[in-house]
């Protein structure tokens, strides 16, 4: 499996079908930063057992799911959103998608039921790569890189289906791997 484009902030990393690392098995990762210092991203389709109210008990709208962004700094809370008019201070990582912003404002908007799951997504921890680590993994064909996705994909609550749907959307060259079993011995 060879990526057709280079990794960059705002692109998706799709794990190869037989990746056994439980942190990234059948995962879709949004890269939020990709520099000489390394890379940072969030796993979009590994929902945690927690809801936002479990982490922020003083927040009224507590039923929003929280995702496992990755194995680094799992005791931290991060978010991406598509509403810069509501949340100031975010970093635009791709067209209309922002990382972070004024967290006090976010809590007020959520408590006032002015944000929904199609506008914001929360993560505990993040995925991080040291300088050149992600480049090495790309050379080893651990990831497929794509910039072909809809904004709705990032905020979908699809969990396990997101990996399969994202692979199929890459086109015929990759669609066949969407049906590979998770364990190659079952093939």
Query: What CATH number did the domain enclosing 74 receive?
Result: 3.40.1740.10
Residue with tokens 């905020």: 155
Average pLDDT over residues 73-86: 97
DSSP state of 117: T
- pLDDT on residue 180: 78
CA distance linking residue 80 with residue 92, whole number of Å: 10
Average pLDDT, the chain: 90
Q: Is residue 7 part of a domain?
A: no
Write out pLDDT tens, residues 54-67: 998 887 767 899 99
Q: What is the DSSP string of the chain?
A: ---SS---TT-EEEE-TT---TTTTT-EEEEEEEETTEEEEEESS-EEEEEHHHH-TT-S----EEEE--SEEEEEEEEEES-TTTSTTPEEEETTEEE---HHHHHHHHHTT---TTTEEEEEEEEEE-TTHHHHHHHTT-EEEE----HHHHH---THHHHHHHHHTT-HHHHGGGGS-SSGGG-
pLDDT > 50? residue 162: yes
CA distance linking residue 80 with residue 99, whole number of Å: 4
Q: What is the DSSP string of 125-147?
A: EEEEE-TTHHHHHHHTT-EEEE-
Q: Is residue 71 part of a domain?
A: yes
Q: Is residue 3 part of a domain?
A: no
- pTM metric for this prediction: 0.92
Q: Is residue 4 part of a domain?
A: no
Percentage of residues of the chain with pLDDT beyond 90: 70
Residue 163: band (very low, low, confident or very high) from pLDDT cuts 50, 70, 90: very high
- pLDDT on residue 184: 56
Q: Is residue 6 part of a domain?
A: no
| Count: domains in the chain | 1
Q: Which has the higher per-residue pLDDT, 62 or 152? A: 152
What residue numbers bound the domain in which 78 lies? 12-186
pLDDT > 80? residue 152: yes
Q: Is residue 16 part of a domain?
A: yes
Q: Is residue 171 part of a domain?
A: yes
- pLDDT on residue 42: 98
- Among 13-17, 109-113, 119-123, the range scoring the smallest mean pLDDT is 109-113
Residue 1: band (very low, low, confident or very high) from pLDDT cuts 50, 70, 90: very low
- pLDDT on residue 3: 46
Q: Is residue 2 part of a domain?
A: no
């Amino acid at each position: 499996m060879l990526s057709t484009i280079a990794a960059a902030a705002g692109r998706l990393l799709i794990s190869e079908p037989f990746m056994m690392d439980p942190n990234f098995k059948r995962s879709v990762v949004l890269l939020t930063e990709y520099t000489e210092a390394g890379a940072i991203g969030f796993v979009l389709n590994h929902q945690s057992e927690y809801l936002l109210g479990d982490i922020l008990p003083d927040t009224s709208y507590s039923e929003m799911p929280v995702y496992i962004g990755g194995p680094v700094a799992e005791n931290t809370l991060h978010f991406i959103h598509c509403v810069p008019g509501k949340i100031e201070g975010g970093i635009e990582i791709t067209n209309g998608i922002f990382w972070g912003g004024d967290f006090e404002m976010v809590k007020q908007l959520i408590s006032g039921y002015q944000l929904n799951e199609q506008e914001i997504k929360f993560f505990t921890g993040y995925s991080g790569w040291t300088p050149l680590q992600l480049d090495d993994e790309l050379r080893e064909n651990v990831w497929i890189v794509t910039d072909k996705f809809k904004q709705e994909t990032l905020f979908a609550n699809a969990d396990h289906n997101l990996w399969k749907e994202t692979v199929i959307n890459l086109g015929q060259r990759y669609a066949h791997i969407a049906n590979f079993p998770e364990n190659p011995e079952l093939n």
